[in-house]
């Protein structure tokens, strides 16, 4: 047993979508979340810049004595996972990508047409296609689409309105139709926040969320390494590099709790 906190981090607010799954599955676990809201989005930045930001956050979480790091960001997972594991070899580090790729590999058939939507950095890395094929080489109908405008719109809370729907149509109408997509992978932890938009616009699609699968992987790894908590020592704490109104509102939207209940703290990283 280990009652130290689990450290989640993301380029912004998207990683928050993994937290409700953890709270339901593992109610005794304490969570420390860091969202780099001052420097989001990461998906259009260079790999070197993403790496620099990621290692700063890793150091922050190490100082918080976390027992596990969860990269609740597909962009970071696709570019910096190995760097983090080399830097912190004694801390288990969970990626958002491998658990999702495993679900796709195990649940899809060769005739399925699988669409992957993600940031520029994640799509250009090719990591989803590579991981899925490693686990099931029979899946060859894999198609990826960059959707760079989704993250900044979501970060601004522009979700339940015509602007977001028009953006979805712009990126995905031809992509879904031309490739006959039947399974859509949300390859960014921000994207579950527009899941209902996607279901309404494309009602026939099966949607797979990296946020949910990352949370499942956390439980498996905690059990595997005997790191499960047996009591709650402290409240969950949510940090941001810019504690904006949007960040607080999104926490309330996703978790359904107010700021006082969540014990939100502000942490500014020096560049």
Domain assignment present for residue 258? The answer is yes
Name the active-site residue from 73, 80, 108, 147.
73
Q: Rounded distance, CA 126 to CA 133, Å?
A: 11
Task: Identify the CA nearest to 175 among candidates 213, 205, 130.
Answer: 205
Q: Are residues 205 and 251 located together in one domain of the fold?
A: no
80: annotated active-site residue: no
Domain extent, residue 152, equals 97-210
Catalytic residue chosen out of the listed positions 80, 108, 147, 188: 188
Asked if pLDDT for residue 271 goes beyond 70, the answer is no
Query: Whole-angstrom Cα distance, residue 58 to residue 10?
Result: 11
Are 101 and 184 within one domain? yes
Output the pLDDT for position 64: 94
Q: Residue 211 has what pLDDT?
A: 83
| Residue 267, domain member (yes or no) | no
Is residue 10 pLDDT above 50, yes or no? yes
Q: What is the CATH number of the domain that holds 129?
A: 3.40.50.1860
Tell me: pLDDT of 180 over 80. yes
19-36: per-residue pLDDT in tens? 888 888 899 999 999 999
- The question of whether 147 is a catalytic residue gets the answer no
Q: What is the pLDDT of residues 114-136, one digit of tens each?
A: 999 999 999 999 999 999 999 99
Residues 6+ apart with CB under 8 A from 169: 201
């Amino acid at each position: 047993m280990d009652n130290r906190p689990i450290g989640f981090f993301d380029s912004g607010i998207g990683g928050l979508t993994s937290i409700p799954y953890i709270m339901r599955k593992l109610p005794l676990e304490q969570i420390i979340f860091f969202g780099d809201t001052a420097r989001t989005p990461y998906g259009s930045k260079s790999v070197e810049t993403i790496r620099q930001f990621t290692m700063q956050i890793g150091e922050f979480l190490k100082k918080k004595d976390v027992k596990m790091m969860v990269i609740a960001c597909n962009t970071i997972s696709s570019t910096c996972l190995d760097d983090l594991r080399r830097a912190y070899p004694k801390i288990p580090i969970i990626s958002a990508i491998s658990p999702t790729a495993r679900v796709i590999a195990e649940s899809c058939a060769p005739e399925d047409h699988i669409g992957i939507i993600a940031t520029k950095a994640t799509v250009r890395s090719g990591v989803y296609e590579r991981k899925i094929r490693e686990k099931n080489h029979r899946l060859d109908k894999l198609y990826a689409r960059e959707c760079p405008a989704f993250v900044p719109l979501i970060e601004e809370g522009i979700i339940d309105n015509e602007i977001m729907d028009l953006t979805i149509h712009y990126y995905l109408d031809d992509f879904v139709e031309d490739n006959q997509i039947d399974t859509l992978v949300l390859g960014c932890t921000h994207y579950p926040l527009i899941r209902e938009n996607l279901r309404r616009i494309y009602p026939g699609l099966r949607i797979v969320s990296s946020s949910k699968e990352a949370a499942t992987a956390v439980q498996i790894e905690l059990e595997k390494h005997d790191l499960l908590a047996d009591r709650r020592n402290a409240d969950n704490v949510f940090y941001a590099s810019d504690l904006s109104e949007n960040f607080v509102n999104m926490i309330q939207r996703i978790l359904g709790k107010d700021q006082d209940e969540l014990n939100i703290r502000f942490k500014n990283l020096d560049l």
